[in-house]
Structure 1
């Protein structure tokens, strides 16, 4: 019979100097097994001081500094991995309290799937995760005690603070204990303060298996859905977006804002471990029945490797008389390229091909440029690459235009 083990997760938060984080430094390497063990016992002593006797519970600590995006991931996999590790360590079918510290063995972390990623610029709030474990019927009371006391009373001792700073080689501004719910509440407040409140709605649906799927639709035209670890982001070309947003005073700025939010939200979801797929526009994405909307999203999802969205405006099909190819880059300050318009002309100045290309990733930018450089070379031409520094459109504000054709329109 397998051991039944339930877990209550928490962390020791470690606040770093924002100026240091802004320099793009990587978090320190995980501790050795010996150093992790020393820190584990110091933290266990702190927790007994704060919460009272904890001898009936198991305790597992990870000897590494993690960004919150590494901890708060769909389904909280770190909790599952550590719980299973603890369960397998038990000698028989009976639960037995024991203390485990997980540190590095040389350069290798023993559990690669939950090793600290040490991404440059992580922080300023990092965390040392740990779990209390026990028989399921005994864990609700402990969870309640942690929620009531840990954040309010949970300052680390001087001994623990010194160990953290010495062993990791960092300067910590503050060290406090917190539950996962505390971390979620903090993240929600931070996102709302930065005017990304709807992003938390999506993340909350992903993090906890008890949460239903979620959908958000933003005033700028962005529509996103989340079901577990899977995210969907509707993509709109400039023309599609203009159809939904008629009468906008400055279409270039407004569409640039749509693109900016699209990138911010998809990056935020991906940072927490969600797989985000771009979805073709469909009225069913707004269906009152969220299950139907999700079904439409799955049907309209582009393959993960898709680098660009192509929109052909005109194509005669006759490329026998190609005399010039231009590629106009549409961009916004601080955002970079959002689209490219290609114009292929004949010797008598007829339009052979007119299309818009929208990169979905940085690799898409290079792919689009290289594609048309190669095409021009096949016709013995030099690609005319134009960078006006803005999004160029027609007077109606519903179609991208190449440069210099756009010079006679409002843009």
Structure 2
């Protein structure tokens, strides 16, 4: 029996400034229609193949919900696709809400509903001999050529009850690259290697160890952040000559805010965060390693 492989993709919706989702998930009927439109948009890459299935979760997620270790949303869609009845023809599996609730594991988190960028995850599945070349073409071309059709964008705008500025198809790797760029633009570039390690090499360790940034050690899905008092924090900071006490206090407060920002971001990406008190700056790295 041919090996089945899976290719993870996204329908990315960029909302108009100041707009939010009126409806984070679609019912089964609307999910089916969105799936049909997505299949039509993917036709230039899938062609007339009858051995590649498309599976879609018709809910709009924050990117942090998608970019988590193990890719839980895509993995759950793939699992449900595997369990669905088999067919000699291509299948279109559209997962929608029932009585306002998506299937378990596919419900958007209400704490992340107000971001301007929403991702609808889909999965292609099929034999490696068929899907492999398609996947390669999509990785090479989708970012440049993947604007969603006008019908798809208009339907998504109406179905999710919002205003959409852009709608495009992306591979999951395209989405990762987009978020890396966005984090860089928002002053979070030093944090990205921690997230990238957690996503692609969860068995590895990673450090954020570059003052004036907080000291963070990532291992086994847990980010350990060094909790320092003001004196020990100052010992790790460069260029404090000429800084008076009031300025030093303000900088330390900003440092604590940065710690909380980083902790919230890593938590949103599905990582466990622990603050480890470090009584001495010289041994902080040893403490974080446990």
- Answer whether contact 2:62 2:113 (CA < 8 A) is retained: no
Distance 2:255 2:63 in 1: 27
Cα shift at 1:237? 1.0
- Answer whether contact 2:51 2:130 (CA < 8 A) is retained: no
Distance 1:123 1:185 in 2: 18
Q: Which residue of 2 aligns with 1:80?
A: 75
Distance 2:16 2:264 in 1: 24
194-203 or 53-62, which deviates more:
53-62
Q: Which residue of 1 aligns with 2:259?
A: 262
5+ unaligned residues in a row in structure 2: which ranges? none
SS of 1:232 mapped into structure 2: strand
Q: Which residue of 1 aligns with 2:94?
A: 101
TM-score of the aligned structures, taking structure 1 as reference length: 0.63
Distance 2:37 2:193 in 1: 36
Q: Which residue of 1 aligns with 2:185?
A: 193
Q: Which residue of 1 aligns with 2:234?
A: 242
Cα shift at 1:50? 4.9
The structure with more helix, counted as a fraction of residues: 2
Distance 1:126 1:104 in 2: 17
- Answer whether contact 2:211 2:236 (CA < 8 A) is retained: no
Give CA-to-partner distance per residue, 1:358-406, whole Å, 9 cap, x none: xxxxxxxxxxxxxxxxxxxxxxxxxxxxxxxxxxxxxxxxxxxxxxxxx
Q: Which residue of 1 aligns with 2:23?
A: 28
Q: What aligned pairs does 1:195-210 form with structure 2 within 5 A after superposition?
A: 195-209=187-201
5+ unaligned residues in a row in structure 1: which ranges? 287-292, 300-411
TM-score of the aligned structures, taking structure 2 as reference length: 0.88
Distance 1:5 1:285 in 2: 47
Q: Which has the larger radius of gyration?
A: 1
SS of 1:31 mapped into structure 2: coil
6-15 or 240-249, which deviates more:
240-249
Q: CA RMSD in A?
A: 2.5
- Answer whether contact 2:51 2:127 (CA < 8 A) is retained: no
Q: Which residue of 2 aligns with 1:110?
A: 103
- Answer whether contact 1:9 1:129 (CA < 8 A) is retained: yes
Count of equivalent residues: 283
Q: Is 1:125 aligned with 2:120? A: no
Distance 1:35 1:222 in 2: 46
